[in-house]
Amino acid sequence: MKHIKNINCIGKFKKVLSLNSTYLLMHSILFCLIIGLSSCTDFVEVDPPKNLLISETVFDNPVTVESALANIFYKMRKQGMVSGKFGLTTLMGIYCDELDYYGFDASYSELYHHNVTAPNTIVLSWWSNAYNLVYAANDIIAGVENSSALSTEESNRFKGQALFVRAYVHSLLVSIFGEVPYITTTDYIANGSVSRSPSNIVFNDIISDLTNAVSLLENTEASGERVLPNQSAAKALLARMYLYTENWELAEAISTELIDTHSLELDINSVFLKESPETLWQLKPGDSPRNTHEANELIIQFIPGQQFALTNTLLTAFEPGDLRLPNWTGEISNTDGTITLHFAHKYKAIITETESLEYSIVFRLAEQYLIRAEARAQLGNLSGAQLDLNIIRNRAGLANTTANSMNDLMDAVLQERRVELFAEQGHRWFDLKRTGNAGTFLSAVKPNWQATHVLLPIPETELEVNPNLFPQNSGY
């Protein structure tokens, strides 16, 4: 078996595409990815296709479909919102109250200082990359549905994974931008003039895709590393979506299914290792050095030279005796000891590692305990909410919660989410936004805060290409 390597053509394809032009070009790009398997990630081990492929034959061979899906996950890990240099972990961390920013990039500074403009290059790259991924997922869905050469098992697995990708990417888009198009075809003409859908419709479409994915996917994964989305990954996102849409009964039910079939890692220092039993889906580093982007971006090795550091606001949110503070954060001082900064140290394998000890975790079981605790509190099951909170608190060395009313338990759940899920995938920002607490917390630490900042602007170039995306989000 040969490792799939990153495709030279994608590295050369650096120009950010508009939504309209993306759909025109992505079909050929997707299969260029499959053909040019010469220097890339070893995310999935498959034999690459030997001859030039055209779209009509790609879906006759499960190996080439696996190649196309592998490149979707590669792009998730390297580009856009999910992971990599421009991921939600760092950029929504500086947008809210988790991280301070010390760099000089103008687009980063706009996010940190809350003076984002519609031409912001990060915002544009997030939008463009996200819809590139959606297009690629849609191409796989259509190809698999029209293929008579794949077995039922293969067809279900590939379609389920692609549906999961489509749902996951749209879940990030709607959380960042509000009303967005939900793209389900590869018709670039139709997609180039698409309109935005109300957020509740987008969430309904996400839930529909995930429900379908759960029915198609198995709960196993061939590599055993949980690097390909299976039924558990789809359920994890589904539980999150039910939480975000305040469907408490279903949020509790789906999170319970995951809690009943998976184990929490009890050693707080092993939670982010690649073998951690509580991981539901993770992205595998594939290029040299073999380390996570999160460790590379967040661990401060020199002062000066740092880009991000944990805010004092976050550090003071930890209770005395919380094991997460000494074990999941680190500190460094400059040579004369006049400056000390703290950094996220959940991932500890830095650039010198020759073998990856950690993969970038997207979903883990601790979130499901906190989803169920919140759902139970909202449903009036206070003892059940306390039980779930205490499981997470006790692992961190803390005593049982003293919260015993619905309002107090809700505050306790959000506090626990803050210190358990910090510097992970923008959880803090999404929690502030969905609970209506963004202004309460951020107005005190972000002088430029405005209520309209709960959404980022639709990229200016996208509005120019497709006027059907108007109106622009308020405040921009």
pLDDT value of position 5:
35
pTM of the model: 0.89
* Rounded Cα gap, residues 389 and 383, in angstroms: 10
Find the domain containing 147 and state its range: 8-86+118-217
Asked if residue 283 is part of any domain, the answer here is no
pLDDT value of position 290:
74
Asked if residue 275 is part of any domain, the answer here is no
What is the residue-averaged pLDDT of the chain? 89
Asked if residue 167 is part of any domain, the answer here is yes
pLDDT value of position 347:
96
pLDDT value of position 55:
62
* Rounded Cα gap, residues 180 and 424, in angstroms: 24
Strand partners, 361: 282
pLDDT value of position 42:
40
Residue 197 sits in a domain whose CATH number is 1.25.40.890
- Dihedral of the alpha carbons of 101, 103, 106, 112, in degrees to the nearest 10: 0
The token pair at 142 is 């259509």
Asked if residue 229 is part of any domain, the answer here is no
Question: What is the per-residue pLDDT across 284-316, written as a single tens digit (0 to 9) for each?
Answer: 987 665 788 899 899 999 999 999 999 999 999
Asked if residue 208 is part of any domain, the answer here is yes
Strand partners, 45: 3
Question: What is the per-residue pLDDT across 313-347, written as a single tens digit (0 to 9) for each?
Answer: 999 999 999 999 999 999 999 999 999 999 999 99
pLDDT value of position 26:
46
Asked if residue 74 is part of any domain, the answer here is yes
Q: Residue 308, class by beta-carbon neighbours within 10 Å (0-12 exposed, 13-18 middle, 19+ buried)? A: buried
Q: What is the total count of domains within the chain?
A: 1
Angle at 466 between CA 463 and CA 470, to 5 degrees: 50
Judge contact between 100 and 93, C-beta under 8 A: no
Burial 138-173 (b: 16+ CB within 10 A, else e): bbbbbbbeebeebeeebbbbbbbbbbbbbbbbbbbb
Asked if residue 137 is part of any domain, the answer here is yes
Residue 234: its H or E element: helix 231-244
Low-confidence spans in the chain with pLDDT less than 70: 1-56, 287-289, 351-353
pLDDT value of position 288:
60
Asked if residue 81 is part of any domain, the answer here is yes
Judge contact between 64 and 28, C-beta under 8 A: no
